[in-house]
């Protein structure tokens, strides 16, 4: 990577601060982004460190660092600079990497600023997760199926991946799928999830269930979003059939040694 010379008239700084110091700037980031932020809850759960970015003493942005484990702090996962100072984004990001001693950069490809920093400052970039947004209203039918909220006395099949959801799909008196949406993401977004009993997979139950859960999320004032592993072809097809579409990928790369 070709090095950039730092303007002699400017000083760039990344200072570790409490999360409350970056909250106003993060509100600007969320308003501008207008997409579901996968790691939104890391801040409120105390799983991240916050850095205030400044140019010549003026506070112009922030960066956030987390890890795979709640106690780790090895990767930058959020970065925001207010529009008048974006020409200096690279210099600020370099300071952030140095202050946090980050080894990795992780971002959503639908975040243009972070994606730009990723490709400038990282190598060995890869992705394992696909991100989805709602795209179209569907009218899938699943004859004989009943969709309703889960009851305390429902007999739920053993789940292998997802938790038993707040909604169930019943066929022939048997619960064949459950699902719901999680609300610990940035408003107004909700994260869809579901699991289908093994004997009823690839028969349309999943797409019908997701379709109905999408309706419920909107009724509760939330915009549906979803994600799944990039290799999970079945889940990707289920989400797409129910009106979701790919809106990005989770990208991870190693910080270049020269940075």
- 129-145 pLDDT per residue, tens: 999 999 999 999 999 99
**Global confidence as pTM:** 0.89
Domain locations along the chain? 12-126+250-255, 137-242
SS (H, E, C) the chain: CCCCCCCCCCCEEEEEECHHHHHHHHHHHHHHHCCCCCCCHHHHCCCCEEEEEEECCEEEEEEEEECCCCCCCCEEEEEEECHHHHHHHHHHHHHHHHHHCCCEEEEECCCHHHHHHHHHHEEEEEEEEEEEEECCCCCCCCCCEEEEECCCCCCCCCCCCCCCCCEEEEECCEEEEEEEEECCCCCCEEEEEEEECHHHCCCCHHHHHHHHHHHHHHHCCCEEEEEEECCCHHHHHHHHHCCEEEEEEEEEEEECCCC
- 63-96 pLDDT per residue, tens: 999 999 999 999 999 999 999 999 999 999 999 9
Domain 12-126+250-255 is found in CATH 3.30.365.10: no
With cut-offs at 50, 70 and 90, classify the pLDDT of residue 4. Answer: low
Q: Which range, of 4-8, 61-65, 111-115, 166-170, averages the lowest pLDDT? A: 4-8
For all residues of the chain together, what is the average pLDDT? 94
Per-residue pLDDT at 123 exceeds 80? yes
The answer to whether the 12-126+250-255 and 137-242 domains have the same CATH topology is: yes
> How high is the pLDDT of residue 2?
47
pLDDT average, residue stretch 235-258? 94
Per-residue pLDDT at 199 exceeds 60? yes
Which class is 137-242 in CATH?
A: alpha beta
Per-residue pLDDT at 257 exceeds 90? no
* Residue 77 dihedral angles phi and psi, to the nearest 5°: -130, -10
Q: Which residue has the tokens 């999943």?
A: 206
């Amino acid at each position: 990577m070709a090095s950039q010379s730092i303007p002699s008239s400017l000083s760039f700084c990344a200072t570790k601060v409490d999360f409350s110091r970056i909250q106003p700037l993060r509100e600007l980031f969320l308003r501008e982004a207008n997409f579901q932020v996968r790691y939104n809850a890391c801040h409120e759960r105390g799983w991240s460190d916050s850095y205030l970015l400044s140019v010549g003493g003026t506070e112009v942005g922030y960066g956030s660092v987390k890890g795979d484990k709640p106690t780790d702090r090895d990767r930058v996962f959020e970065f925001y600079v207010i529009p008048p100072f974006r020409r200096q984004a690279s210099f600020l990001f370099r300071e952030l990497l140095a202050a946090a001693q980050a080894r990795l950069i992780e971002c959503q490809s639908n975040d243009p600023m972070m994606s730009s920093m990723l490709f400038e400052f990282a190598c060995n970039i890869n992705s394992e997760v696909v991100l989805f947004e709602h795209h179209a209203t569907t009218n899938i039918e699943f004859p004989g199926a009943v969709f309703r909220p889960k009851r305390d006395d429902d007999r739920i099949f053993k789940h292998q991946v997802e938790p038993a959801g707040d909604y169930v799909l019943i066929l022939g008196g048997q619960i064949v799928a459950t699902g719901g949406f999680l609300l610990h993401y940035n408003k107004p977004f909700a994260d869809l999830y579901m699991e289908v009993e093994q004997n009823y997979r690839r028969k349309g139950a999943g797409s019908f269930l997701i379709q109905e859960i999408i309706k419920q999320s909107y009724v509760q004032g939330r915009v549906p979003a979803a994600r799944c592993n990039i290799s999970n072809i079945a889940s990707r097809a289920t989400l797409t059939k129910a009106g979701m579409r790919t809106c990005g990928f989770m990208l991870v790369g190693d910080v270049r040694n020269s940075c």
